[in-house]
Structure 1
Amino acid sequence: MLNLRRTLFAAGAAVALGLTTMPAVAADIPPPDTVVTSPNVTHVLNIPKPAPIAATINTDMAFQGDYAYVGNYGGFSIYDIRNPKKATPVSSVVCPGSQMDVTVYGNLLFSAVDSSRSDDSCNSTALSADHKEAWEGIRIFDISDKAAPKYIKSVETNCGSHTLTLVPGKGWDKKKNVYIYVQSYNPNATFPDCQPPHDKLSIVKVPLKDPTAAAVAATPVVFPDGGNETQPGLLLPTSGCHDITVYAEKDIAAGACMGDGVLFDISDRLNPKVTARTTDPNFAFWHSATFSNDARKVIFTDELGGGGAATCNEATGPNRGADAIYDISRGKLVFKSYFKIPRYQADSENCVAHNGSLIPVKGKDIMVQAWYMGGVSIWDFTNSAAPREIGYFERGPRADNSGGGVWSAYYYNGYIYASDFHQGLEVIKINDRLTNGADRVHADQLNVQTQQSYREWGWGHDD
């Protein structure tokens, strides 16, 4: 596919100096469906969605060993990535239910279901949540055979599971159990299993020796006095959390909770405690969170427009639909700046801050992130007050104006993997002096919402 370079990389501008912030003009919008990258980024491979789930959109990802796991509204797929340049699908499981976000641990895969179904099976059909018999929650699969995963257990949770976060046990418990923090929201008085005010998490305890015994073990209320419900411009009033990222080795978590940004103490896995909370008049929907490796900063994303709107344009501006960078000082969240991609998108392109992960560069805070039709951005927030983009990958507007784009973009063992709604799995490589040190860092597993320090990964040859 033709590989153009966006004109925002003006003549003579070095990548190391970051992108310019000149306003975009019509000539800057790439031709429809055309791949464009910064000079330091290469599009390595595109793998179309496997036929069994080709009609439904890709969602979140997880990684383990030589495999990538890609969620999809129709189920999930497993890819062999031992050679990223020749990555191939291994299997697909057809098991519908939005969003089917996935996380993996050992031989287990956990998936989130936030659309009420007629039952918990993979043959279920949609059924309104006002029916008591409707089901939503999490599904557990045995993935010991990558070519033939087996569905082994479901756990129903109040208001379903929009997203989920795996939390390892502590001390003696670490080898016995894992915990799944289930994020859900948007209750309704007509829903028997999703009553207002909700404002809570469901915590599922999974015995590793008998995962079929998994069950809800606690339902702590995050907002006992109510969350942010009246701020002008909110997408929805706070009634729970959209996504939680845990940093288990430090016993902390960051919650993106609709109208609120939250820090937790998770030293008691079944009883997380809110230690700090903030709001932002520029944020419409607190969507996801990422800690810096030293846990002295946290990035929150604002999913302005719910992911379906064109917000990467001049009219929206740089401070909405963006990332917010906070320093964590004495346990409090201290706002430092916003980051938003400096490349304007066409009005037909849904674009907003979405899922990303750190690139493990010693002494630097660098992140790769999805922006729907804005593609993939690689950006440096080492200076919390002055973040800057250092590379990107994207496609031009879809020729049919149907929208879509990249749901998640994560760095794993030398490559960036991007889960695209329609295009499938993208494999991307950045070659830049700021990030090349990460090539020496190896992980055995990556669940982005379950952060591990780079030291746990292994620093590589320059340790």
Structure 2
Amino acid sequence: MEPTASKNISFVSHSDMGGRADGVQIMVHRGYAYVGHGFSNGISVIDVRDPRKPRPVNFIACPPGTRALHLQTHGDLLLAVNAPSVWTMQEFQQDEKTYFGASPADSLKRQAGKFTSGLRVYDISSPEQPREIGFMPVHGIGPHRLWYVGGRYAYASIHFADFTDHVFSVIDLKDPTRPEVVGRWWLPGMWSGGGEAPTWPKGKRYALHHALVAGDLAFGAWRDGGLTILDIKDPTQPKLLAHRNTDPPFGGMTHSPLPLPDRNLLIVGDEATAPNCSEGLRYIWVCDIREPSNPVTIATMPQPQEADYCAKGGNFGSHNLHENRPGAFQSSRLVFATYYNAGVRVFDIENPFRPQEVGYYVPPNPTRMMDPRPNRPQVIQCCDCYVDREGFMYLTDPNAGLNILHYDGPLV
């Protein structure tokens, strides 16, 4: 499969994942890829023990109207969200701003009973046959994204019915068959059930996309609400250390945090949510967090230059970052980022004040569309990237299936 542009990354193989070519978050664990879908409403299991010959082996369907787009693996556990399959619902098909520009909670009240909200826990000791062992129902839209790398606690963005949108939540997995929320934190104005009123402008969405945890600190990305750093030494009582927001003057949609604690750095990606750069460019920021109560922005990653991606169609800009998970390729120097219609990019931050782009791969456009929304451009929209210890890159897309690549530069 010939790329439209590439540098230091080579093609290895491709899979349409058994005809379900829409992929969002991907975990590669013990030789198997677990892929959450955006439209197919379930989880695919792909045998990638030989990355050159990926083989779909299972599909776990969600309840009706429900998707499991985000998931996490560690040890013998797979955690997956259950949330409304928003892109198949009439409320959101015509205008994405009804999703990105405000809380979708009010619109989804009209869909009550048509989807399932909660957290599912699977036993994956038999990797090809995940077995459900626990379910935590949530009254509300439910969870959006998770962080779990073992231990007692998982961390999630969850919408509860008495909040305006997703908030930071700590889930106790002492008994994985009975997960329960034991801690929460939110931006002021989000607890509508407690009488709080929104403090943000109309047309903005303050909601936790997700948080990553390093030590006793949780780094949260709150869409138009910016970045928070929380002290979670006591997981039941998170405490705010810092809150920063680049919107205004920049465009908001803070999406992906990546702490690099050994270097006292934090990478923060803002999501591009509008086509053709119509709402301006989005950036990946480098922050100095030597003093967690005062994060300081020191650089941005360079923007792709080999083509005019704003004119290509679809979204152009940052989406997800490879997360340095246990068992994966881990680096405090190389940052892997999906960039929607500009594929996947690799940045070297040996000098954090002057990041350099050292690799990229832009797959060809999809041959068919999985996206049910009308008038979507048939262009690549690379979504998530998992990098293993050997430099194999597992790249998802909402329409183009799973591309397995290899980073050919030095793994430093």
Q: Deviations over 1:167-204 (max 9, x none)?
A: 644xxxxxxxx32222035xxxxxxx523445733332
Query: Deviation at 1:327?
Result: 0.9
User: Which residue identity lines up with residue 93 of structure 1 in the other structure?
Assistant: I
2:242 is equivalent to residue 276 of structure 1? yes
1:366-445 maps to which residues of 2 (within 5 A)? 366-397=334-365, 401-414=377-390, 415-432=392-409, 435-437=410-412
User: Which residue identity lines up with residue 346 of structure 2 in the other structure?
Assistant: I
User: Which residue identity lines up with residue 315 of structure 2 in the other structure?
Assistant: N
- Structure 1: runs of 5 or more not aligned: 4-34, 118-126, 170-177, 186-192, 438-463
**Could you tell me which of 342, 346, 353 is aligned with 2:305?**
342
**Could you tell me which of 119, 138, 144 is aligned with 1:162?**
144
In structure 1, distance between residues paired with 2:125 and 2:29: 12
Query: Deviation at 1:90?
Result: 2.4
1:202 aligned counterpart, secondary structure: strand
Q: Deviations over 1:334-373 (max 9, x none)?
A: 01122233343134232220112267577x6111111122
In structure 2, distance between residues paired with 1:293 and 1:50: 39
1:117-136 maps to which residues of 2 (within 5 A)? 128-130=108-110, 135-136=116-117
Q: Deviations over 1:132-184 (max 9, x none)?
A: 65641212222222332223322123431111122644xxxxxxxx3222203
2:58 is equivalent to residue 102 of structure 1? no
1:241 aligned counterpart, secondary structure: strand
* More displaced stretch, 293-302 vs 198-207: 198-207
In structure 1, distance between residues paired with 2:187 and 2:314: 35
In structure 1, distance between residues paired with 2:269 and 2:330: 22
In structure 2, distance between residues paired with 1:338 and 1:40: 21
1:7 is aligned to none
Aligned residues: 360
TM value normalised by structure 2: 0.78
2:82 is equivalent to residue 113 of structure 1? yes
* More displaced stretch, 404-413 vs 337-346: 337-346
1:100 aligned counterpart, secondary structure: coil
- Are 1:199 and 1:223, in contact at CA under 8 Å, matched by a contact in 2? no
Q: Deviations over 1:262-313 (max 9, x none)?
A: 11222222222221110102132111101125151111111132xx5233xx
Q: 1:348 to 1:131 in 2, by over 3 A?
A: closer
- Are 1:381 and 1:388, in contact at CA under 8 Å, matched by a contact in 2? yes
In structure 2, distance between residues paired with 1:348 and 1:288: 23
**Could you tell me which of 74, 87, 90 is aligned with 2:54?**
87
Query: Deviation at 1:235?
Result: 6.1
Q: 1:299 to 1:80 in 2, by over 3 A?
A: same
- Are 1:297 and 1:327, in contact at CA under 8 Å, matched by a contact in 2? yes
In structure 1, distance between residues paired with 2:203 and 2:265: 25
1:84 aligned counterpart, secondary structure: coil
In structure 1, distance between residues paired with 2:55 and 2:24: 18
1:68 aligned counterpart, secondary structure: strand
- Structure 2: runs of 5 or more not aligned: 87-106, 191-196, 369-376
In structure 1, distance between residues paired with 2:262 and 2:282: 26
Query: Deviation at 1:130?
Result: 4.5
- Are 2:67 and 2:85, in contact at CA under 8 Å, matched by a contact in 1? no
In structure 2, distance between residues paired with 1:316 and 1:392: 24
1:83-232 maps to which residues of 2 (within 5 A)? 83-95=50-62, 97-115=66-84, 128-130=108-110, 135-157=116-138, 158-166=140-148, 168-169=150-151, 178-184=152-158, 194-197=161-164, 200-207=167-174, 210-218=175-183, 220-224=184-188, 229-230=199-200
Q: 1:297 to 1:151 in 2, by over 3 A?
A: same
Q: Which has the larger radius of gyration?
A: 1
Sequence identity of aligned pairs in percent? Answer: 24
TM value normalised by structure 1: 0.70
Query: Deviation at 1:256?
Result: 0.3
1:329 is aligned to 290
2:317 aligned counterpart, secondary structure: coil
Query: Deviation at 1:89?
Result: 2.1
**Could you tell me which of 42, 48, 58 is aligned with 1:75?**
42
Q: 1:135 to 1:129 in 2, by over 3 A?
A: farther
- Are 1:110 and 1:138, in contact at CA under 8 Å, matched by a contact in 2? yes
Q: 1:228 to 1:92 in 2, by over 3 A?
A: same
In structure 1, distance between residues paired with 2:75 and 2:270: 32
In structure 1, distance between residues paired with 2:345 and 2:265: 19
Give the alignment's Cα RMSD to 1 decimal: 2.9
Q: 1:144 to 1:217 in 2, by over 3 A?
A: same
